[in-house]
Structure 1
Amino acid sequence: MKSPDTRFYVPNLVIGSQELSPDESSHAIRVCRAREGDGLNLTDGKGHFALGIVEKADAKCTQIRVEKIEDSPRPKPLLHLGIACLKDDANEEVALHVSEMEVGSITLFRTDHSEEPKDSNLQKVVRRSELKALVSLKQSMKAWLTEIRGPIPFDEWLKNYTGDIILCDLGGEKNLPPIKKETTLLVGPEGGFSPREINLVKNYQNGEMKILGLGETRLRARTAAIVGIGKLV
């Protein structure tokens, strides 16, 4: 019995027989060439793993049997990313790479300098970012799916947020101690947060605020997000 070196997403894992979605079925049968009797590694993105035995190999509707579900504790403390809405496919690129790491959520901000269309609700961007996060969940073999949130005005988010904050800035510390409680890394748009927004962050009162430097060169927002999270996980 072989098991493809990837995980398949089953949002509602249960003991017994169930069906894979059409997309997961196609990937299992056409790409991984799974056959009846083969084992598929499964996850629901909510902290559960299972081995599913293929009972019916169908590229449109594969049926599997699950005999045991294993729990995977959520990493503590939780690390999150808050990033301004960027242009083109930059937010999707960030979601793809950051979601490979143990990051609880990515929140998209509308900021003073963010570059998104102001008359758009950005639901296409959010949906595509969710799909990238799902791809990364399966590829990285994680137990927990990184949630995509927003878009939300930055001021509103900051007013309601409770937890520690780490702001990416050229003048920040190169190395910070390990995070000890729920923390959000903040990355502004191209050109950075506005002076008004930086002042709001520096006066944040609902947790500790630190500033993280990412080197001597100026990084693009998408690069800063990936490098910053990489330094904290």
Structure 2
Amino acid sequence: MIQTAQHTLLDYQRDGFAVVEQVYAPAEIRALLAVIEQAGAQGGSFRRTADVFAIRNLLAELPALRPLIWNERFKELLHELLPAPQHLVKAIYFDKPAGSNWVVAWHQDLMVAVDRRAELPGFGPWNVRPEGVNVQPPRQYLDGICTLRIHLDACDAGNGALRVVPGSHRHGVIPAADIADFTPHAQVCPVPAGAVMLMKPLTLHASHRSLDERPRRVIHLEFSSQRLPAGLRWREDAAPAS
């Protein structure tokens, strides 16, 4: 059983990110990777290049991951962060292979996955991708989302750890022209294998290319306790594994 240190949760609220260590044991990480490595790479949810392997709609594509992810430590952490029910908003797997030149520019996670398009005040822009419909919701929904990034490898500046701007989430949606005003305050967020990085979607973050031969494999999950209006649903919403 874990009990997240109070200062970790306070750091998360203040800075927009924090790290909770020892959520997954080495054997649990191996089990997660075994399921992922057996997956094919067909269809709109999969992207595989020399620099990245990504799976969107992860738990729909690989449902065997669900009981492995929802171990007791993860469930306790999720309940500390959000009141029930916790709706799954987004589930993605990212693999930055050794020596990858994949760079992610400074951004906030503004788009959420929904089941359909609906004309609602404050919702937009919309886009439709092979994996489904995405939209930028009003800020109140973004503020209510908690991201949990499960690190399957130790991660630091050498293999593409996220760079984050502490406190940037408190400024709401930051116009692209203003992002450069925030980035001088950025810091690297190293994360050990088996840990979970907590992050708010409005936290400015970026990722440089890998500088060494270590992989950086991450399961990225977003949760919210809010319901969407007018019958709109989080596309990946499903009950947690028991």
Do Structure 1 and Structure 2 share a fold, with TM-score over 0.5?
Answer: no
Highest RCO, 1 vs 2 (Cα 8 Å, sep ≥ 6) = 2
TM-score (normalised: structure 2): 0.24
* Greater Rg over alpha carbons, structure: 1
